[in-house]
Structure 1
Amino acid sequence: MQGTRTVASVPERLTGYQFQATRWTLDGRYVVFLTIYAIGKPLLDQTLVSIDTESGAVARLPCPDCTTIVGDGGDEVLAYQADYQQIWSVTLRSGKPSQETRIAIPKAVSDDHFIIGAKGQAVLAITNVAQSAATSNSESFYLVTAHGAVRELAAAGSESEVAPIAATGHSAIGDATIAMGDSVHGGACQRAGFIHMLDPTNGVETQVELVDAYPPNYEPGRNGGLEIHDLWWDDKGYLYATVESWICNGGDRKITTPSSLWRFDGKHWTKTDAGPLAMVRTLAGGGRLVLSQHADFTTYNEPIGGPLYLEQGSLSRTNVATNALYISTPDQASIP
């Protein structure tokens, strides 16, 4: 969409409603995603769909065995072919693959996804198998190039669940330009939420706690919980998070802070919108998009979304969609 105008509408199911299923080329012209493959059919039937935001034209290109994609500079896209452990480079204006390169990375157990792309390189997350029934899967992160070079960056600890991920080309709060939401489950109600900050140039990782958003008398992972629903960077290089917190009343959650928007200045988190809301994105020309409620993926049929609003100033609010699942905007990301 551009404002309230729909540029293109594509009646396709995505490969999943996971974070970053829909990506953008780095020049902001093309939206790309992989279509879902039918149960019982091989990944060889996978298709890469691109939408030209200038003309609204929709193109489809066979992308056999592709499991994740990312913008790669200009109008190019990198696709990862998991079974072949191969990166595939596609130029969208010509619609033809330009390069295929094998890479030496462990195969994912259940998931792999690109996080951030730049000219000829990207950060790829790979799920690692649990070593025993007592531990959960973890994720490792690799810097890979279109020429096949690989460097391991970091790993999220076991018993964790990596959720939203956001990247930027410029951070105003330090050297790290990738933020990864993470949570550790201590029980049916207990959950500790925090953020990994990663510098892709050297692999240095730090952990950030959301202390300012903690519920009263909170002991992480013991008597309550905190969940990070969404992460994004603004154009000034500041990190935002949509956060919900609660305390445990027996085995039930008692919400203390509904899903609300917080801004990180490098030291402290400040609540900027009390919500409740699911996702927010600011727009270059002013205003913002607000998804008012989280999508429900527990239904047996299609997931249930919520209303999406375009806000321009404090008095202007326009409903632009009624069953939106999430917001996808052009990446702020680049890798030096």
Structure 2
Amino acid sequence: MGRLAVLVVLALVVAVGATLLATRGDDRGGQDGGNGAQAGRPSLAPSADGTPYAYTTEKELVLMRGDRPLARVPRVFDLGDEHQNTVVWTHDGRRLAFFSDDALLERTEDTRLITVDARTGEVRRLPCPNCYDLAPIADHEVAVLRWDSEATPTRALRFDLTHPEAAGTEITAPVGNGSGWAISFLGGTRSHLLTAQYTTVSGGDTAMDLRLLDRDGKEVAAYSPFDSNAYMPAALATLGDRELIAVAARQNPGGCAAPFPVHPLGLNGEVGGSDQSAALPPGFLPGVTGGIEVNDLWWGPDQHLYATISAWTCDNNEGAEDDKQRPHRPSTLFRLDGEKWVSAGDQPATVVRPLDRETRMVLTIPDCVGRTHHDDAVTHCSTGPLHREHDGKRTKVADGVLSLSAPATPS
């Protein structure tokens, strides 16, 4: 089965519990670690070493600029559920935000919204009890979802990260949701939020219902239901005067015959398609044989849509779905040219983020296609080496990396 399906099936309690103990050993969980050169002391002088980026491991988030770590923030990151690990950048590229790990310790009322200044490495924490999802909006704001109790509706709040002490501004729930937000965020542009929730379609099957809202919570577009589960890769960006949105539909997760179409979305409810022929395995028939996985999806500064895609064939002589899968191509980089995907690199890559015209960061995580035989399959299928690629040459930066992120527009 694909990497995500492997992780869902595996027992994660032991792995996460061990990480919690290791990280909490000094009873400083959630406190600042090294910022710049000294623990707990952010470098207050802005760095001019190019575009910042951030990566996470099981135990911390590291903010980098060039070869210099600007901040290290201790935080447990979940090896099995990417929704617990969301890190977002503000649209002005000056801050990143994520939640503390209190939810993993069943202390959701202690959850804090953590922000890191990408110029100085300064770390701030804002109380955000029971908050569980976030997306960037406007230039330097984030929208968060907050669930207080069964008796009260889910709320949405906007926080201006240039005023971290200010209380959040409540966003009115969309019409049709009653007084609450029974949804999750897939992301945000400067002017819009893309939301998702499960819905039932004909035949009793479930699908994902996607809506586009303005920054005040008013619905501006509704899309046709997507055959997918909630783990939909999504790419949202504001580049120049264009707001760009795309999603990938995870069809038949865990199955060998697994299409994974990518759809550019219009601001008025249009759902586009794309030709994935270059990324498909030989003999592929949608829903019949062969499969692909879209591991990551993002808009490049050139306003092209990029994705990393792996592929496999199916041996139908086997019984179990994961036994049927035969790797065809590891996850590599593709670019959407018009309506057609083309190869943009032949080296393995799970997540790629450009820093400038000649330099990009590349995270490579094992695909774990088919049955995985590894002593620590959870870690093996969730983490990998991070490289800095300059003019085609890769230099390792770190091992055991779980995720990689950067501003949408390199500076």
Write out the 4+ residue segments of structure 1 that deviate beyond 6 Å after TM superposition.
300-303
Deviation at 1:160, TM superposition (A): 4.9
- Asked whether the equivalents of residues 366 and 380 of structure 2 are also in contact (C-alpha less than 8 Å), the reply is no
1:243 to 290, 309, 323: 309
Q: Tell me, which stretches of 5 or more residues in structure 2 are unaligned? A: 1-63, 369-375
* Equivalent in the alignment of 1:264: 336
1:305 to 372, 383, 386: 383
1:292 to 364, 372, 376: 364
* Equivalent in the alignment of 1:231: 297
- Partner SS for 1:18: helix
Aligned ranges 1:209-224 → 2 under 5 Å: 209-224=275-290
1:165 to 212, 231, 234: 234
Aligned ranges 1:47-126 → 2 under 5 Å: 47-82=112-147, 84-95=153-164, 96-104=166-174, 106=177, 112-118=184-190, 121-126=191-196
- Asked whether the equivalents of residues 176 and 197 of structure 1 are also in contact (C-alpha less than 8 Å), the reply is no
Q: Distance in 1 between matches of 2:355 and 2:251?
A: 33
* Equivalent in the alignment of 2:72: 9
Q: Distance in 2 between matches of 1:194 and 1:126?
A: 17
Aligned residues: 325
Matched, 1:327 2:404: yes
Structure with more of its chain in helix, by fraction: 2
Change (3 A) 1:305 1:39: closer
Q: Tell me, which stretches of 5 or more residues in structure 1 are unaligned? A: none
Aligned ranges 1:144-159 → 2 under 5 Å: 144-146=214-216, 148-158=217-227
- Partner SS for 1:193: coil
- Asked whether the equivalents of residues 68 and 114 of structure 1 are also in contact (C-alpha less than 8 Å), the reply is no
Matched, 1:26 2:26: no
Deviation at 1:152, TM superposition (A): 3.8
* Equivalent in the alignment of 2:354: 282
Deviation at 1:43, TM superposition (A): 3.6
Structure scoring higher RCO (CA < 8 A, sep ≥ 6) equals: 2
- Asked whether the equivalents of residues 186 and 195 of structure 2 are also in contact (C-alpha less than 8 Å), the reply is yes
Deviation at 1:330, TM superposition (A): 1.1
1:273 to 335, 341, 345: 345
Q: Distance in 2 between matches of 1:212 and 1:171?
A: 29
Q: Distance in 1 between matches of 2:192 and 2:261?
A: 24
1:142 to 212, 217, 230: 212
> Percent identity, aligned pairs only?
27
Q: Distance in 2 between matches of 1:322 and 1:153?
A: 41
Q: Distance in 2 between matches of 1:142 and 1:227?
A: 25
Matched, 1:46 2:115: no
Larger Rg, first or second structure (1 or 2): 2
Q: Distance in 1 between matches of 2:390 and 2:84?
A: 26
Matched, 1:128 2:205: no
- Partner SS for 2:347: coil
Deviation at 1:81, TM superposition (A): 2.4
Change (3 A) 1:128 1:82: farther
- The one-character-per-residue Cα deviations of 1:171-194 (angstroms, maximum 9, x if unpaired) are 99xx88211111321873110111
TM-score normalised over the length of structure 1 = 0.84
- Partner SS for 2:274: strand
TM-score normalised over the length of structure 2 = 0.70
Change (3 A) 1:80 1:243: same
Residue identity in the other structure for 2:359: G
Structure with more of its chain in strand, by fraction: 1
Change (3 A) 1:65 1:122: farther
Residue identity in the other structure for 1:57: E
Deviation at 1:133, TM superposition (A): 9.3
Change (3 A) 1:69 1:159: closer
Of stretches 232-241 and 248-257 in structure 1, the one that deviates more from structure 2 is 248-257
- Partner SS for 2:256: coil
Matched, 1:178 2:250: no
Change (3 A) 1:82 1:19: closer
- Asked whether the equivalents of residues 274 and 340 of structure 2 are also in contact (C-alpha less than 8 Å), the reply is no
Deviation at 1:19, TM superposition (A): 9.0
Q: Distance in 2 between matches of 1:94 and 1:176?
A: 26
Deviation at 1:220, TM superposition (A): 0.9
- Partner SS for 1:31: strand
Of stretches 224-233 and 126-135 in structure 1, the one that deviates more from structure 2 is 126-135
Q: Distance in 2 between matches of 1:108 and 1:18?
A: 17
